């Protein structure tokens, strides 16, 4: 870096800062800035393009192009060179713009006179705001230092835009964080909620992007990095850490002590940025890399760097997690992602949760479900847009979030909430009535659970018992392996809370998407089909045995129900069952009380088990279809993969025919059968399952009411006839016929 250019970029930044300090409306400021940049860089043209909506850029200010084109010239993301810069978030630097691939000539601007082009993104930590462009008549290739100067200028503009410096310069230049924004994500947990934003990790606001005195700034950054290093070292020296946590923190330490990181930030300060802006520049670069790295390990490391940058910014600005904000009374948690334990800490105080990442099967989603809080996942960029206290509406049914909604939207939304509350009242009135259909068949409705927090719903929902208790949740929310006594006490509390109702405890189902934080997952090419669930329990039976002992001790003479996940062939069930019997013998020989009765069942989650020998069905005390897994293996469609997970319909007749086969096999052997996947909680699916012979369904507590209400209104003969019609027509799915029939049913 030449000294000359160092001082040039510093000079430019200073002039920019002074310009920004002058009073004036947004448009005036933008106009002054483009003049200033063109003048400082010796270019004929300087233009600022800002996003009008996520797909469209608009020319908002220019020096050198025709003034009439301001707020008129627009281009799509990816269109022309400006669109390319915006999409790729990388500069385009060319001496001969018209010869560039993708160049688009915009006659209204008069830009045909200019040959060279340099465009850089205006972005703030991965948030795309627009593009800053300089152009010249002569065919010049802008030097590295000029590119750098324009990049940091763009960064400062982004910071100022964040602070609302350009408000009033057209719709697009209005300060962010005041307009209504709608996010379309995916459903994590159904339900609607209205409230105010509570950021899990509030964003740090940088108010001084330009350095007044580089030497002071360098001292500040060194001191802050020093403090950061000490804090990471302290974390590492904490006694309670296990090996895994240490490994993660080691990676943190490596970054915190990285000389390259500090050096790059010092260079940025020397070129005119403040310490905070230098950290953000590095963070933006890391985020941009993160978007392009497919390797999950590397992405995680870049994520570490991102977290460290946030910590460093908090040290520099003194804005800790505790920013002085008080949690609103109706908080809706907004976060990039959140761990299950952290979410449980917030507990039922939250009205809703919105995540940028997450997945339907993630632990946070499971906890949100247990707490019956509406959850929207994949709400991209919401943490960049939302501020603490912003009004927000969460539509968990549609996976939509309205941030700072218009009053009309809010009003319609409130109507929806009121309607849901009405429906809840209706369901509550059915609580003590059986789910008996018009044709006189009673379906036993149970609920799925996994946390103590779920248990109050047993009473509230009117479920007949817990058809699936996912024991792994207790393992997932801890930082280390729970002990036997701890588990026994917990299972006893679950049984106490169930007050004699049946609880089917499923043994530890880890692997695939459920990774214990304290157990290193094996490196598997396809974890969903890998070493998971009962396979782990049988190969390494230590934890399984400990868990079985805890269950037996918890029962203390009461009935006990145990089921094994992902049983694929009979011998696995025999081996797993033998473990239970062995532990029973052992407890008995130790003189401990054993359960009064014990039921040992298998989850049917792989198609192969449906074709197991009859002896399997005779040996199993019951079979429970884990539809989530069974469906993913039947259709070969990963339940975690957004691209395919909704592709195949549960009411597809091939799948229904297959389920009928399972019903028949259980009936032949007299084996009780239930269905405990998510589909059991969807009213139409539940009716179809009942129609083909399932007499016990287990679902999330909130679904018991709607499913019961519908079952009580229908005649299963008619449902079977509708399925029959679909089959006779050679249809792929029974859904259209079932819906058509239900439309004629008086509900
Ligand atoms: C299933 O697979 O349907 C099931 C109930 O288990 P889980 O969702 O916990 O894998
Ligand atoms: Mg499963």
Point out the ligand nearest to the CA of residue 514.
Answer: 1
Measured in whole angstroms, the distance separating CA 259 from the mean position of its chain's CA atoms is 33
The CA distances from residue 367 to 201, 354, 433, 452, in Å, are: 19, 13, 28, 11
The CA distances from residue 62 to 35, 326, 436, 644, in Å, are: 8, 43, 72, 46
Q: 355 - beta bridge partners?
A: 335
pLDDT value of position 534: 96
Choice from 528, 605, 650 to test ligand 1 binding pocket (greatest atom count within 8 A of CB): 605
pLDDT value of position 346: 84
**Which residues crowd ion ligand 2, with CB under 5 Å?**
605, 626, 629
pLDDT digits (tens, 9 = 90+) for 88-129: 888 999 999 999 988 888 888 988 889 999 999 998 776 788
For the segment 617-646, the average pLDDT, to the nearest whole number, is 93
Polymer length in residues for the chain:
747
Grade residue 674 by pLDDT with cuts at 50, 70 and 90: very high
pLDDT digits (tens, 9 = 90+) for 37-87: 999 889 999 999 998 888 899 999 999 999 999 999 999 988 999 999 998
Per mean pLDDT, which range of 374-388, 664-678, 702-716 is the poorest? Answer: 374-388
Point out the ligand nearest to the CA of residue 506.
Answer: 1
The CA distances from residue 155 to 112, 208, 401, in Å, are: 28, 12, 29
C-beta of 462 in contact with ligand 1 (< 6 A): no
- Asked if 181-202+323-420 and 422-744 have one fold, the answer is no
For the segment 539-557, the average pLDDT, to the nearest whole number, is 95
Residue 558: pLDDT over 70: yes
Point out the ligand nearest to the CA of residue 567.
Answer: 2
Grade residue 1 by pLDDT with cuts at 50, 70 and 90: very low
Q: Which atom of ligand 1 is nearest to the CA of 470?
A: 9
C-beta of 628 in contact with ligand 1 (< 6 A): yes
C-beta of 84 in contact with ligand 1 (< 6 A): no
The CATH-assigned architecture of domain 422-744 is: Alpha-Beta Barrel (3.20)
**84 phi, psi to nearest 5 deg:** -65, -45
Q: Which atom of ligand 1 is nearest to the CA of 448?
A: 5
Residue of 46, 60, 666, 676 marked catalytic:
676
Residue 4: pLDDT over 70: no
C-beta of 146 in contact with ligand 1 (< 6 A): no
**Is 141 in the active site?**
no
Residue 490 and residue 452 in contact, taking contact as beta carbons nearer than 8 Å: yes
Output the CATH code of domain 2-173. Answer: 3.30.450.40
CA of residue 362 to ligand 1 center, whole Å: 12
For the segment 579-585, the average pLDDT, to the nearest whole number, is 97
Closest by CA position to 158, among listed 132, 192, 139: 132
Domain boundaries, given as residue ranges, for the chain: 2-173, 181-202+323-420, 214-317, 422-744
**Closest C-alpha residue for ligand 1 atom 1:** 626
pLDDT digits (tens, 9 = 90+) for 15-27: 888 887 777 777 8
Closest by CA position to 33, among listed 176, 206, 121, 150: 150
pLDDT value of position 602: 98
**What DSSP character marks residue 294?**
-
Point out the ligand nearest to the CA of residue 472.
Answer: 1
C-beta of 364 in contact with ligand 1 (< 6 A): no
pLDDT value of position 175: 57
Which segments within 400-441 are labelled E, that is strand? 400-403, 435-436
**Is 43 in the active site?**
no
**116 phi, psi to nearest 5 deg:** -85, 155
Residue of 43, 363, 378, 402 marked catalytic:
363
* Fold of the CATH domain 181-202+323-420: Glucose Oxidase; domain 1 (3.50.30)
C-beta of 629 in contact with ligand 1 (< 6 A): yes
Q: Which atom of ligand 1 is nearest to the CA of 632?
A: 2
Residue 548: pLDDT over 80: yes
Closest by CA position to 399, among listed 437, 352, 449, 345: 352
CA of residue 663 to ligand 2 center, whole Å: 19
Output the CATH code of domain 214-317. Answer: 1.10.274.10
Choice from 474, 677, 689, 699 to test ligand 1 binding pocket (greatest atom count within 8 A of CB): 677
């Amino acid at each position: 870096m030449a000294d000359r250019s160092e001082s040039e970029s510093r000079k430019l930044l200073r002039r920019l800062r002074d310009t920004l300090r002058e009073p004036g409306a947004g448009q005036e400021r933008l106009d002054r800035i483009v003049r200033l940049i063109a003048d400082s860089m010796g270019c004929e043209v300087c233009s600022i393009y800002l996003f009008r909506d996520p797909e469209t850029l608009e020319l908002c200010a220019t020096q050198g192009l025709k003034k009439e084109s301001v707020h008129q010239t627009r281009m799509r993301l990816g269109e022309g060179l400006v669109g390319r810069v915006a999409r790729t978030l990388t500069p385009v630097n060319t001496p001969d713009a018209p010869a560039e691939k993708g160049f688009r000539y915009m006659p209204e601007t008069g830009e045909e006179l200019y040959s060279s082009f340099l465009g850089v993104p205006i972005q703030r930590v991965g948030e795309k705001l627009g593009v800053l462009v300089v152009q010249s008549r002569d065919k010049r290739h802008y030097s590295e230092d000029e590119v750098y100067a324009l990049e940091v200028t763009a960064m400062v503009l982004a910071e100022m835009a964040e602070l609302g410096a350009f408000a009033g310069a057209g719709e697009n230049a209005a300060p962010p964080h005041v307009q209504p924004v709608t996010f379309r994500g995916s459903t994590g947990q159904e339900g609607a909620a209205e409230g105010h934003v509570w950021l899990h990790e509030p964003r740090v606001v940088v108010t001084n992007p330009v350095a007044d005195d580089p030497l002071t700034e360098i001292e500040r950054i060194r001191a802050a990095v020093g403090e950061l290093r000490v804090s990471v070292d302290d974390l590492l020296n904490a006694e309670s850490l296990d090996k895994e946590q240490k490994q993660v923190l080691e990676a943190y330490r490596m970054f915190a002590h990285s000389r390259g990181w500090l050096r790059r930030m010092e260079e940025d300060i020397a070129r005119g940025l403040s310490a905070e802006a230098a950290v953000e520049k590095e963070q933006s670069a890391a985020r941009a890399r993160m978007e392009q790295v497919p390797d999950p390990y590397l992405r995680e490391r870049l994520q570490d760097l991102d977290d460290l940058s946030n910590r460093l910014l908090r040290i520099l600005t003194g804005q800790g997690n505790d920013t002085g904000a008080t949690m609103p009374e109706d908080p809706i948690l907004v976060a990039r992602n959140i761990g299950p334990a952290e979410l449980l800490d917030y507990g039922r105080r939250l009205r809703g949760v919105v995540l940028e990442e997450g997945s339907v099967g993630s632990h946070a989603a499971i906890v949100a479900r247990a707490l019956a809080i509406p959850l929207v996942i994949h709400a991209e960029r919401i943490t960049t847009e939302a501020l603490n206290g912003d009004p927000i509406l969460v539509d968990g049914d549609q996976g939509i979030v309205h941030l700072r909604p218009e009053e009309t939207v809010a009003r319609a939304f409130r109507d929806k909430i009121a309607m849901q509350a009405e429906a809840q009242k209706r369901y509550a009135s059915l609580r003590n009535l059986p789910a008996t259909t018009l044709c006189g068949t009673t379906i036993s409705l149970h609920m799925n659970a996994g946390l103590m927090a779920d248990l109050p719903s047993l009473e509230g929902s009117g479920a007949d018992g817990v058809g699936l208790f996912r024991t792994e949740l207790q393992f997932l929310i801890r930082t280390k392996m729970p002990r036997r006594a701890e588990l026994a006490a917990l299972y006893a509390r679950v049984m106490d809370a169930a007050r004699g109702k049946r609880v089917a405890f499923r043994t530890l189902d880890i692997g695939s998407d459920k990774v214990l934080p304290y157990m290193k997952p094996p490196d598997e090419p396809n974890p969903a089909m890998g070493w998971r669930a009962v396979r782990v329990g049988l190969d390494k039976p230590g934890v399984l045995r400990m868990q079985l002992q805890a269950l037996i001790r918890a029962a203390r003479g009461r009935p006990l129900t145990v089921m094994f996940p992902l049983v694929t062939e009979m011998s696995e069930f025999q081996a797993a069952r033998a473990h239970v019997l062995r532990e029973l013998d052992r407890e008995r020989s130790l003189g401990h009380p054993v359960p009064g009765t014990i039921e040992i069942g298998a989850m049917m989650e792989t198609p192969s088990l449906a074709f197991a020998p009859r002896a399997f069905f005779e040996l199993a005390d019951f079979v429970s279809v884990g539809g989530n897994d069974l469906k993913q293996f039947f259709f070969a469609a990963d339940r975690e993969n957004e691209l395919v997970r909704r592709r195949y319909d549960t009411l597809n007749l091939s799948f229904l025919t297959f389920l009928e086969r399972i019903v028949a096999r259980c009936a032949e052997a007299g084996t009780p059968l239930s269905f405990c996947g998510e589909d059991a909680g969807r009213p139409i699916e539940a009716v179809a399952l009942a129609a083909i012979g399932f007499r016990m369904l287990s679902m999330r507590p909130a679904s018991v009411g709607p499913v019961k209400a519908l079952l009580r209104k229908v005649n299963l003969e008619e449902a079977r006839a509708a399925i029959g019609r679909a089959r006779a027509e050679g249809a792929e799915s029974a859904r259209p016929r079932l819906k058509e029939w239900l439309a004629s049913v008086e509900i």
